[in-house]
């Protein structure tokens, strides 16, 4: 094993140091075990930087060709898992540059880093990688919304209790419940698209903090790498991790939504409710009780939301007190970001699998409806007869109280009993006890009638089509 002094000498910054490093410090400082994930982005950024230095006269055409060809070989080594990591490869940037000098020689390889800093490299690599990962997540989130929309169209006839305070409130369509969450997800989709725009800005060409002295064309590099534009202050560009923090904020917000969605389905899939049944692919059993079918997929979604929140809170605490520009603390933005992206991406795909394969039981949903959920219909009935709503609400409450005192459901009260509460409750008041009618009356935009639900579906399809 090489001495720790030799390790320091071989670092990109090693010329300044004459003593060895504590072996634990070497391990503590190294980020290659996780930032090797950025190998393709680091190589793409290096080639773009080399091309800019070619145009600026720092590199000859032959030197650029050698660098580009060397990186093509190195990219293939990473892809095929044949890249041999050395002890002094502290990060992906060091590893790639070291290997380039081995492949094409130090005389040319040593020119690659002219005017460039790892401070701008890591920010560039992270943004390139994150941009593509968020675009993949965008596609998965669109798929989840599409499944909810598709089921809403196909299962629009199913009625179920709607809840407030987890108490039965008013009848709604199953499709309305589906679209309530699909709407929340669509808002997260729109936010995600905005986050991607802010991630996709280039810091390349900003140097360590003060900028580049070789008249490098930052616009050309940004265009080659597919960035939408530049970060215009070099100090801000290398020290900024807002793009990572905003991603973690977005992911935490989405995971909050998916956690609530999962909680509903956990309740609805319980034996006490029985509204839905999860496919075996997204359930587990009990090691002791053979009758159990546990909604572990949904419980994990609910649980992993806490993990996502932790990523965000941890980075917030890391960056809140840092002085201007780059500090090594910012290395702590990489691992949580990588884990966050995997957690959120996997969660969306699991949620889509759950929703696309679960079975609904409309008969159990219908059986769970209770006549008392139609009490508001009595108040609305009276409003249509000119009775002030507050008075109608009071009369409706008296009907509920009468049913409770008689020990019968509201729909078992006789017409005479209803008229005894208030003579304005006419013969046609029994129409208020029709669940389908109650649902169809909620036809204003955003309501639970078929027409309102179909309107919501059109809106969601338009949002999906904006990509």
Q: Which residues are catalytic?
A: 165, 286
- Residue at token pair 């699998």: 353
3-state DSSP of the chain:
CCCHHHHHHHCCCHHHCCCCCCHHHHHHHCCHHHHHHHHHHHHHHHHHHHHHHHHCCCCCHHHHHHHHHHHHHHHHHHHCCCCCCCCCCCCHHHHHHHHHHHHHCHHHHCCCCCCCCHHHHHHHHHHHHHHHHHHHHHHHHHHHHHHHHHHHHHCCCCEEEEEECCEEEEEEEHHHHHHHHHHHHHHHHHHHHHHHHHHCEECCCCCCCCCCCCCCCHHHHHHHCCCCEECCCHHHHHHCCHHHHHHHHHHHHHHHHHHHHHHHHHHHCCCCCCCEECCHHHCECCCCCCCCCECHHHHHHHHHHHHHHHHHHHHHHHHCCCCCCCCHHHHHHHHHHHHHHHHHHHHHHHHHHHHHHCEECHHHHHHHCCHHHHHHHHHHHHHCCCCCHHHHHHHHHHHHHHHHHHCCCHHHCCHHHHHHHCCCCCHHHHHHHCHHHHHHCCCCCCCCCHHHHHHHHHHHHHHHHCC
CA distance 360 to 464: 25
């Amino acid at each position: 094993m090489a001495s720790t002094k030799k390790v320091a000498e071989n670092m990109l910054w090693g010329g300044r140091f004459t003593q060895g490093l504590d072996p634990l410090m070497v391990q503590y400082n190294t980020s290659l075990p996780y930032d090797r994930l950025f190998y393709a982005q680091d190589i793409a950024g290096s080639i773009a930087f080399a091309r800019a230095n070619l145009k600026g006269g720092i590199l000859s055409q032959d030197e650029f060709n050698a660098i580009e060809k060397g990186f093509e070989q190195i990219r293939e080594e990473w892809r095929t898992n044949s890249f041999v990591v050395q002890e002094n490869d502290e990060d992906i940037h060091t590893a790639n540059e070291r290997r380039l000098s081995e492949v094409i020689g130090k005389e040319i390889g040593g020119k690659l880093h002219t005017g460039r800093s790892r401070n701008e490299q890591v920010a560039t690599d992270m943004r390139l990688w994150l941009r593509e990962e968020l675009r993949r997540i965008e596609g998965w989130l669109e798929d989840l919304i599409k499944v909810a929309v598709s089921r809403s169209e196909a299962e629009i006839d199913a009625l179920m209790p709607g809840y407030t305070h987890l108490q039965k409130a008013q009848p709604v369509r199953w499709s309305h419940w589906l679209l309530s969450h699909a709407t929340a997800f669509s808002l997260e989709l729109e936010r995600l698209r905005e986050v991607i725009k802010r991630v996709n800005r280039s810091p390349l060409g900003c140097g360590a903090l003060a900028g580049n002295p070789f008249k490098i064309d930052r616009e050309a590099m940004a265009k080659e790498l597919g960035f939408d534009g530049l970060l215009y202050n070099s100090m801000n560009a290398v020290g900024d991790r807002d793009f990572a923090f905003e991603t973690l904020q977005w992911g935490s917000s989405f995971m909050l939504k998916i956690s609530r969605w999962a909680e509903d389905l956990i309740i609805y899939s319980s034996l006490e409710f029985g509204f839905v049944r999860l496919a075996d692919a997204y359930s587990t059993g009990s090691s002791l009780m053979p009758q159990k079918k546990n909604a572990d997929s949904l419980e994990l979604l609910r649980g992993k939301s806490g993990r996502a929140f932790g990523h965000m809170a941890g980075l917030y605490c890391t960056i809140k007190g840092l002085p201007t520009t780059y500090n090594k603390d910012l290395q702590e933005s990489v691992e949580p970001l990588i884990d966050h992206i995997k957690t959120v991406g996997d969660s969306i795909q699991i949620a889509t699998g759950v929703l696309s394969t679960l079975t609904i039981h409309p008969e159990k949903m219908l059986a769970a409806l209770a006549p008392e959920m139609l009490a508001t219909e009595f108040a609305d009935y009276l409003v249509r007869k000119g009775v002030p709503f507050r008075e109608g609400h009071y009369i409706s409450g008296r009907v509920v109280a009468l049913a409770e005192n008689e020990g019968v459901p509201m729909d078992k009260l006789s017409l005479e009993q209803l008229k005894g509460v208030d003579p304005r409750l006419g013969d046609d008041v029994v129409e208020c006890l029709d669940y389908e009618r109650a649902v169809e009356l909620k036809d204003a935009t955003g309501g639970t009638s078929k027409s309102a639900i179909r309107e919501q579906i059109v809106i969601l399809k338009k949002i999906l089509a904006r990509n």
